[in-house]
Structure 1
């Protein structure tokens, strides 16, 4: 029983870490687009 709980916990932590990476990647892309818009407006 303890092994099943530990495995479930490890899977949840892995899924959370992967979701966090995707979120940060999306935020980085949004910031990049914003910077590009400012740069285009300055030209």
Structure 2
């Protein structure tokens, strides 16, 4: 019998998606800074 692995927890599937979404968020953050001329913290009103 084959054992099915879940899609939750520290699996290769979850880690791949976590890395992809982190890279996407980083690129969006940099692009937003370039477009507005303000840092992310300034845009959120934290500075």
Partner of 1:35: 32
Runs of 4+ in 1 over 4 A off after TM superposition: none
Q: TM-score, normalised by structure 2?
A: 0.58
Which of 20, 25, 35 is the equivalent residue of 2:17?
Answer: 20
Asked which structure has the greater CA Rg, the reply is 1
Q: TM-score, normalised by structure 1?
A: 0.63
Aligned length: 34
